[in-house]
Amino acid sequence: MTRGVVFDLDGTLIDSLPDIAAAANALLADHGLEPLPQKQIGSFVGMGERVFLDRLIAATALNAGDYDALMGEFITHYKASTGLTTVFPGVLEAVQALKAEGYKLGICTNKPGGPLAAVLDAIDLAKWFDVIIAGDTLSVRKPDPAPLHLAFERMGATRGVYVGDSDVDAETAQRAGVAFAFFTEGIRTKPIEDIPHDRAFDRFQDLPAICEDILRPL
């Protein structure tokens, strides 16, 4: 039996909101607009770059008629914004412990491939993962379960856990029929009790034991 653990990225493995906010505010500055607070920008995150830009336009005086150009500008800023991103405490130790126990590890994120590659390179994180599914790997994105199914399929995992920080991740796990371990210190916009989960944790040191408990032999 091959066991797998798949992680969301932003707000789960990495604290990237400062860089996401910097990219969004750089776009606003390009158009002579005032910056938005980081917390407000955090409420735009989770459904991929198109929904993010839709929400940014709705909250500002950006011109929706320039959508394609705005997207190109935003992605350019997004790929360049990596200097403020950090790995959450305990992540590397948890990942190493899981690998030592024989788990296959993956990432399944709605972050598009260009910015994803840039940030993973900046923080040297990709080397720990067997599979990485970007937001544009398929034509659909979370909470559609297909990207998560693909991650487990490519790992050859017959049982697994999905680790995320948001209601989008919780819905993805539910629709995929996969146990959900909920990291409560990420970019969530809903109360913990309103996000369905099998286990919740606020310290990555606890994750290996959680996975062992969820995936104990039947």
CATH superfamily of 17-80: Putative phosphatase; domain 2 (1.10.150.240)
Return the pLDDT at 1: 80
Long-range contact set of residues 109-112: C-beta below 8 Å, sequence gap at least 24: 109/8, 109/9, 109/10, 109/133, 109/134, 109/135, 110/46, 110/47, 110/48, 110/49, 110/135, 110/141, 110/142, 110/168, 111/9, 111/10, 111/48, 111/49, 111/135, 112/48, 112/49, 112/75, 112/78, 112/136
Question: Which stretch of DSSP H or E encloses residue 87?
Answer: strand 86-87
Catalytic residue among 8, 10, 15, 169: 8
8 part of the active site = yes
Return the pLDDT at 212: 96
Return the pLDDT at 218: 63
Return the pLDDT at 101: 95
| pLDDT tens, residue by residue, 12-30 | 999 999 999 999 999 999 9
CATH topology of domain 3-15+85-214: Rossmann fold (3.40.50)
pLDDT tier, 143 (very low <50, low <70, confident <90, very high otherwise): very high
Return the pLDDT at 183: 98
Mean pLDDT of the chain: 96
Residue 49 pLDDT greater than 80, yes or no: yes
Amino acid at 11: G
Calculate mean pLDDT across residues 117-140. 97
Calpha distance 187→183 (Å, rounded): 10
Residue 217 pLDDT greater than 80, yes or no: no
| pLDDT tens, residue by residue, 145-203 | 999 999 999 999 999 999 999 999 999 999 999 999 999 999 888 999 999 999 999 99
Single pTM value for the model: 0.94
Domain boundaries, the chain: 3-15+85-214, 17-80
